[in-house]
Structure 1
């Protein structure tokens, strides 16, 4: 499932400063929000999962299990409550910069990133796991576009990459695709929605959707049509996108530089309904649909400590489940 954020520019540079300036930390805030949205119910499964509190990692439904691909190891669960660490290691290293992607009944690790935005090592190996016990290296060096802060998406039996950044400063506006994760071809040099990094992609009703503050749709990954100038009248950042119950769900929609727990839901990508969620404000969450229910965990929230000028980041490892009320 699509992860998390501008892998995100949300957490570097000015965006962090804006978010910090806007909030005083209050860990009890979530208790004041109704736990049910119309037609759906959120349930907290655990306050403290087995994996460490963190953000910008991924959840997958794979091999009949719910998986958390965490920076410190990969965990699996049958119910979202009890988690077991797997022997499978973290092959791409820094999950804030690169993603795994589900493809052809397996999970691929696209590239390797070690370090931070100021000093890093970026390489282009591609790894694959089918049994979720060991990785197979498909190639140590590929023509995988050398970049980060992008979210790969599978569309029409190919893996697609749109935009991202090669240096952490300038975003890109091209499109690449691959039938195996190893050999890549450039499909478009300049996309109509322009230079972007961290934008979200989902496949919905056999069409490919790009979501940022605006929404674009494509039938082939190359030709795009804008269908919404804005999702809401605020600048959104830090959300994860999931298709659940034949709707597009945007989770953890932080607005105008402020962390929040907003959820936006749409049946067409044009008209969006805003909902409050019971979990605490955060960005960089992990989300996936498993056994017909939507699960989310992780995230990061920043602000000033109790009205002081001392900054603090709060990380999460609680697990929540959303289900449709019958």
Structure 2
């Protein structure tokens, strides 16, 4: 009976074994079917350079190119720049078969570099041409050009010029010989008939200072009014203003000012616009015997006006020594008085600054320019540019630049991208101003053994970008 029973059960064991094998095969097939495929997605989704995070790189996923819109700074070495990148689905990234680690691996970007990305499947590849643009031109470069050697006017002993509403104006005086001229380009000049509310031809005075743009007008301040007939010359405290350079309004001359309502008459005024006010800083009293080629006693008082008519005495005597023909300007929200000649005829290399016009601080200058007067300083491209003027060696054609707000000065010589051309002639008492991202220089006076000569040329110095 037992034998018959076992014989009867044998087929069931065989069936069980077959069933178990089938189940294992099914499970194995099921496991293979459910295994995830390796991704075929690859690429670079972000790219930048260590140390140059502000420089944006554009990625063109169609053209497979990567490049920076804004150039890296001039003189940046491309030899060992380190890229920071994000790869799609952690794709492998190589350059010339060398594995790349974001933020770690350096490359020489002097030429286009190919970044190859490989997907997880080991098959799909995308190659990006990476070009790093570095500025080829020194941002300090100033391209100087003489626009005209002769503006067709004057020349005049006193010439003051600038821009109002995108039109150039030049005001020339030499004794009773005066003229107003306008230009659209600083090259071709046209005579303008300009008169004031007293029917006087403008400009009226020599050694006068012009300020352009305050309250959308041009202003002529003080000056030396020549004598006529039996009358003597004098220095005035009248102020002329015009919205178009043709029709002018003059404030009355106050011969003997009382109180603090108006500054005394003067010539060679230092003037600028600061905190939405017109400022008069120093100047000179009437010169001996009325000689316009000499300077009278220098002043160091400071005045301001919100409208050019009502004046406030900010200080009767600033901390700086009274001086003739310094350069007065506004730079980085401060008033600057630079250089000049004091009453003892010492040529100064000092710089004084003020945040309010009342309290003045002498700047500690580490590397100085040569002391001078009759020069001009302009604030341009966040630097200070000092041009020309009269030193102990005579009238100069030099250029000095300070990149740290007046602490250190460098005389610009051959090889520096800012150097003035050798054809730029020496001058003092000229006009220099900034317009349309360029420095403009117009006119000026020169003196040598042969006497005085006067300029009516126009120069322009543009930043090369």
1:312 counterpart residue number: 451
1:122 aligns with 2:235: yes
1:258 Cα shift?
1.5
Greater RCO structure (CA 8 Å; 6+ sep)? 1
User: Could you tell me which residue of structure 2 aligns to residue 291 of structure 1?
Assistant: 436
Which position in structure 2 is the counterpart of 1:170? 297
Please point out which of 166, 183, 190 is paired with 1:64.
166
**Which of 335, 338, 343 is the aligned partner of 1:211?**
338
C-alpha distance in structure 2 between counterparts of 1:238 and 1:172, whole Å: 16
Displacement of 1:162 after TM fit? Answer: 2.0
Q: Measure the CA separation in 2 of the matches of 1:37 and 1:94.
A: 41
Q: Does 1:158 align with 2:269?
A: no
Q: Per-residue deviation at 1:123?
A: 3.4
Find the aligned partners of 1:50 and 1:261 in 2 and give their Cα distance.
22
Q: Tell me, yes or no, if the aligned pair for 2:155 and 2:456 is still in contact at 8 Å.
A: yes
Q: Which of 406, 424, 429 is residue 269 of structure 1 equivalent to?
A: 406
User: Among residues 359, 374, 379, which one is paired with 1:223 in the alignment?
Assistant: 359
| Residue number in structure 1 paired with 2:120 | none
| Cα displacement (A) at 1:233 | 5.5
Say which SS state the counterpart of residue 132 (structure 1) adopts: coil
* Rg larger in structure: 2
Unmatched segments (≥5 aa) in structure 2: 1-137, 196-200, 255-260, 288-295, 340-348, 413-418
Corresponding residue of 2:307: 180
> Residue 127 of structure 1 contacts residue 139 of structure 1 at CA under 8 Å; is this kept in 2?
no
Tell me the distance in 1 between the aligned counterparts of 2:337 and 2:167.
28
Distance, in Å, in 1 between the alignment partners of 2:185 and 2:191 is 14
* Residue 51 in structure 1 maps to residue 153 in structure 2: yes
C-alpha distance in structure 2 between counterparts of 1:230 and 1:86, whole Å: 46
Give the whole-Å Cα distance in 2 for the aligned partners of 1:172 and 1:185: 16
Shift of 1:145: 2.7
Query: What is the CA-CA distance between 1:92 and the residue it aligns to?
Result: 4.7
Question: Could you say which residue in structure 1 is the equivalent of 2:460?
Answer: 321
Q: Distance in 2 between matches of 1:313 and 1:140?
A: 31
2:244 is equivalent to residue 131 of structure 1: yes
Question: Are the aligned partners of 2:269 and 2:280 in contact in 1 as well (CA < 8 Å)?
Answer: yes
User: Cα deviation per residue 1:59-88 (whole Å; 9 max; x = unaligned)?
Assistant: 211111122222232222222221122222
C-alpha contact 1:144 1:183 (8 A) present in aligned 2: no
TM-score scaled to structure 1, two decimals? Answer: 0.78
Which SS does the other structure have where 2:284 is aligned? coil
Asked if residue 86 in structure 1 is aligned to residue 231 in structure 2, the reply is no
In 2, Cα distance between equivalents of 1:299 and 1:259: 10
8 Å contact kept, 1:106–1:130? yes
- The alignment status of 1:251 with 2:370, answered yes or no, reads no
Of 234, 237, 242, the match for 2:373? 237
Unmatched tracts of structure 1, length 5 or more: 1-35, 305-310
Shift of 1:262: 0.5
Structure 2 counterpart of 1:100:
210
Which residue pairs with 1:74 in the alignment? 180
Q: Does the CA-based 8 Å contact 1:41-1:325 persist in structure 2? A: yes
1:285-311 Cα shifts (integer Å, max 9, x gaps): 22222222221121222222xxxxxx3
